[in-house]
Structure 1
Amino acid sequence: MTMNATGATALFLACTALTAAPAWADFSGDVIRIGVMNDQSGPYADNCGAGSVAMARLAIEDHGGAINGVPIEIVVADDQNQPDVGVSAARRWVEEEGVDTIVGCSASSIALAVQDVMRQHERPYLIAGTATTETTNGQCSPMTTNWAYDTY
């Protein structure tokens, strides 16, 4: 009897799910804070801006506004297409305001700078639309996930 790749993958995932210990996230307080950082007012606002904030809010609403009873909160920052503004917001969020993760759609220079902050604080950084291979190659971070088109 042979098993195709899909069947083998399904079997592997099922076995892993049955044997893996449950993962418990360590959130900053009694709320999950997600920071949405992008250009809210400049030339890239149409690409990500207010639309991505609305989509994040809708996604949270679609899933009941909480994870295992812990409410989810969105905070928003306009990085103004300036790395120093993005880094300042990221530092303030993770060091003072208890932001657990940042979702970004920023220029490459901002994404690379914020990625360093998130690596330092061991917080997840989810970026989309940032067009540099450096986020996944030369400056790759285990804390960053990048959804983008291939620039290689």
Structure 2
Amino acid sequence: MAKVYLGLGTNLGDKEQNLRDAVQKIEEQVGKVVSLSAFYVTAPWGFASENSFLNAAACVETELSPLEVLQETQMIERELGRTKKSVNEIYSDRLIDIDLLLYEDLVLSVISASGAELILPHPLMAERDFVMKPLAEIAPGLVHPVLGKTMKELTSSFSPQ
């Protein structure tokens, strides 16, 4: 069993229910959710929107490979109503976003058969407080495999909100 860390976000509709639905589908299609952070209200990142986000992080034990986790989480996004992905760092409002942040301590960059790019650890995770705060809540001592710092140490670089 591999431990996978996922970042979850939503800023449309019933946000709390969107996250709960995503967690349920992750349990059904990816693996056992062994920890789930609190839900954090955050401002949009990388684009302007009147809709705040609700974000969380989850640790999942899975038998799936990294690419299979990516495929399953993208399928869950579609099942929950997400119709388009962010491309070239152009972001928009979304019903659900599930990011594969870490897969064990794997460092990887690969393109799937469908053309989706998977980079592990997630290349922008340490820059995003909406990812790091929930992640540090559930895995404060987890070490980033590239940066060599714990999630708690990485979170301390963000100014208090």
Shorter-chain TM-score bucket reads 0.3 to 0.5
Give the structure with the larger helix fraction.
Answer: 1
Give the structure with the larger strand fraction.
Answer: 2
Give TM-score scaled by structure 1 length: 0.33
> RCO greater where, 1 or 2, for CA within 8 Å and sep 6 or more?
2
